[in-house]
Structure 1
């Protein structure tokens, strides 16, 4: 016991001093032998860390994408990018994750491409990269169409094989010519076909072409293309083909009908007749038939549009049926909704204001009225039954889903 007591101070003392200075430690004579053995076997820890080491970024960390192409000289393979495919794919992924960056970064992206895409092969590669992203990544078809429109106007290269827009339309034509086989294909083939259909619809809405008189117009060739794609979908009335047709018409129906009417065509009438025939004869699911009927109803209401509205500066509740469109909706004590278009709006709104005055926000005035009763209700919230909590969350999700529909 006395031996252990004499060794303890020496061991603790060694443990507290920095490495490399053990030879200067004084210990009691009775513990000298033990201390020397500790010094002999203790390894000297040497760190490999350096203050000059580069910055460390954990896996998945995204630095500001602009850092990749802010250097106007683009040295060392365009500032770190080895190939055109890597650079373009990185930017496309960036747009997919942060679509709001389109306006601020597209100009720099196009300038970079103008310095890089200088041959027919690289232009073909660029078209294919954009096309694949727009038809394989969910919800990128709209952003892809906007990107295609911008590049078609700002890329300077125009080889004999065709400029960006011409090569893009040629790429789309390859898929278009295979439409009947694709609509009859297996699940995977149809899914790829539907992605192409919706991308072509976005191109029709977003791709701007200058007419002979300098006016901006849509590509008429895409208008006829969408007509034939609808025929292919309705000729093979399985559920997902019909759902794709519904999405296409909800997206472009009003624009297509206006364009057809200008030419004196009744193509939309024929399309609605085909839908009604499908509802009567096709073996599709009840939900899909309901979607088709809702689409017919939407078209009968002029695609939800109200024509003949007055200019914004002259709009009044009397001459503009859309005047109250963006006004908030309130609810009475009985749960009845009312808006600014309601004849009794002013009276009911005043009642709401008066009722609110009866319960002023004391916390803003610096008065705290909370007490034991408040804590009791907080405790009740914290102890909500798990089954009730799960049912409530499910109800909220279903309500949100119905609202978005």
Structure 2
């Protein structure tokens, strides 16, 4: 008599019912042009720039719509090589290596660098891809309190000195908008002989004197050994890269499985990213406009008594606490023509559900005022 088949359909139904009952069910939304986007990560307004679209089309016409193979077979084209060099130059590293996504960059890097003998120390609020990467690598992982250098030092002091140690942090934390103390992390890593890895996904193109992020040229390869950046946020295209020493990049080419076994990035996307880097260098006023909008929004929101976090980046969360309140505010904002991210557990801890408001260089003063007025109305209603 054959064993009974596992009731997969029941398992899926139970999981869906649980998440719906907790008010945590996620819905995909098809973005409509009549909404003002305060939810995305297009921080300097490049994703819709026609120059990038034209460059992407030209790249596809010259090299084809797809790379056709992985980088190690026949998919590494001259345009990929040119983009890697430009990215390395931007962040002041000897070399850079392209990945298809930021998630894959982090998984591949940690899988290639770590094993069961490696001690990994991560900020508690690191991105899921960093946490997953260490877990998949089988590394012994500890998480220190958010931006707490003393807690990190206590953990490092207790770790065996003969084991390889890797400290990992986001550069800009994607749900809070605050920035890692890269200099402090660097100093601690130097004292304890640890390598430092920073994922600067939300800082690249926004922070730094040249848009080189919160790490970039200010912290060289001898200070931040592993630097990860993404291309689908401020640079407006898609994909990611890891930058570092010659030895690091050679090692990743040999051992990072998401790099070795993935078709290379479409060449048109690489061409669009090269155009984005040109604009980043030629139009610093985009970052100036963004900084002005951040200052204006924070000043006005503070006067209104809105519950801001301590962030000077484009990510401006309003922590409301309960998921129901967040979903209500998000729905009301959408009715007013404003798209704002509604972030709930497990993305953030219980009791810290929030609206994740993101600002970009294309937002007009009128759009910001409309957002502030709508938030003020919701805030006043919630107080009564």
**Band of TM-score, shorter chain:** under 0.3
Query: Which protein is richer in helix relative to its size?
Result: 1
- In the superposition, the TM-score normalised over structure 1's length comes to 0.21
Q: Which has the larger radius of gyration?
A: 1
Greater relative contact order: 1 or 2 (C-alpha under 8 angstroms, separation 6 or more)? Answer: 2
- In the superposition, the TM-score normalised over structure 2's length comes to 0.22
Query: Which protein is richer in strand relative to its size?
Result: 2
